Amino acid sequence: MSSLTASLIASPITEPVLDGRVALEAGRLDAQTARSVNTNSLQMLDLTYDIAEMSLATFTRAREQGVPLVALPLFTGRRFMQPAVLFNSKAGLASPADLRNRRVALPQFWMTSSVWHRLILRQIYGISQTEVHWITTADERLLSLGLPPEATRDTTGRSPQELVECGEAEALMGPGVGGPPRIIPGAGQDAIVPAFTDLITAQREYYERTAIFPVAHCIVMKQELADGDPELVEDLCNTFERAKQLGLPAVLENPATRPIAGLDRTETRRLFGDDPWPYGIAPSRNLLETFLSDALDQGLIHREMAVDELFPATLPDQFQ
């Protein structure tokens, strides 16, 4: 097998692949550190790499549209969305339940975090996508989708945070990377405050109610490689599993990098078991079914998709 190209987001569970500590059994993987999931997702729409970490929402739409990519059930990027919900302090919002008929800023309408935010808003608070006025600030990866009538694109160059600071939006639902911004109000700015005063409780209660630890991105590969070499599919799955097992102890030891930041180790184990990032379809089937169903309702995809459509038919049994 010739060398394969890969682009991955650096994290404790992927770094053993990036730095070569874990390698394919039957070939070479030239893995580079990606600039961002956004960059990777755009590049994989053009099949730039053989293997890459990609936005779940962008991949799902691409898969429906026939882009020759297939996912592996290697869910390298997961995060709860509650820490990324922020309010303008003067908007009179006490919880996401108050967002009906309000203005909410997003980076992109069809990015995975935005799909999850709208899913959770309906799932937990009974507020549908059409009952909110959405304001986006960046070009969509999938321009063919456009925006629904309830969404508009701000073209001033301001960020979602800036729209909330100046009062043009009342809330922000972001990707959640790096945690909520630290705001020091200045001239013409209002304070931005977390939607949840107790983030640990909010995330734990969501997980206890739904058993969903949202997937933001996963590993994808070119369809022709998966179809032509079932042993490569198994090799990749095993390689990323070994890498995860190397990195997982450090992730769980650090309170900031646990699934719920700040939750103690005992409670983390009680909620998530020994491996909060399980690979394979079965542990995440309910999550994926929920995501695909809501993706259809939101308009990300235009037909019902089964979970198994996302993955190669040749997955080894332990990753089914």
Q: Token digits for 216?
A: 């933001």
pLDDT tens track for 194-230: 999 999 999 999 999 999 999 999 999 999 999 999 9
The predicted structure's pLDDT at residue 26: 82
- With a pLDDT cut of 90, the percent of the chain lying above it is 92
Give tens-digit pLDDT for 229-286: 999 999 999 999 999 999 999 999 999 999 999 999 999 999 999 999 999 999 999 9
Q: Rounded to whole angstroms, what are the CA distances from 147 to 43, 180, 298? A: 22, 26, 11
Q: Give the span between the Cα atoms of 204 and 61, in whole angstroms.
A: 30
Q: Is the pLDDT of residue 178 over 60?
A: no
For the chain, what is the radius of gyration of the CA atoms?
Answer: 20
* Interval 281-300 mean pLDDT: 98
CA–CA distance, 6 with 8 (Å, rounded to integer): 6
Q: What's the rounded Cα separation, in Å, for the pair 219 and 8?
A: 8
Residue 185 has pLDDT above 80, yes or no: no
Helix, strand, or coil here: 259? coil
* pLDDT above 80 for 8: yes
- Structure tokens of 121? 């808003």
Place of tokens 């079932």: 230
Q: What is the average pLDDT value for the chain, to the nearest integer?
A: 94
Q: What is the CATH number of domain 82-209?
A: 3.40.190.10
In angstroms, the CA 206 to CA 90 distance is: 26
Query: What's the pLDDT at 173?
Result: 98
Q: Quick one: average pLDDT of 56-82?
A: 97
Q: Give the model's confidence band at 144: pLDDT under 50 very low, under 70 low, under 90 confident, else very high.
A: confident
Instruction: Tell me the pLDDT band of 12, cut-offs 50, 70 and 90.
Output: very high
- C-alpha dist (Å) from residue 160 to 107, 128, 245: 6, 21, 37
Predicted local confidence at residue 145, as pLDDT: 86
- Which residue intervals of the chain are DSSP H helices? 15-18, 37-45, 56-64, 112-125, 160-165, 199-210, 223-228, 230-253, 265-272, 285-298
Q: Tally the residues of the chain.
A: 320
pLDDT of residue 188 exceeding 80: no
What residue segments make up the domains of the chain, in order of their start?
4-79+213-319, 82-209
CATH number of 4-79+213-319: 3.40.190.10
The predicted model gives 280-299 an average pLDDT of 98
CATH topology agreement for domains 4-79+213-319 and 82-209 = yes
Query: What is the predicted pLDDT for the residue at 142?
Result: 83
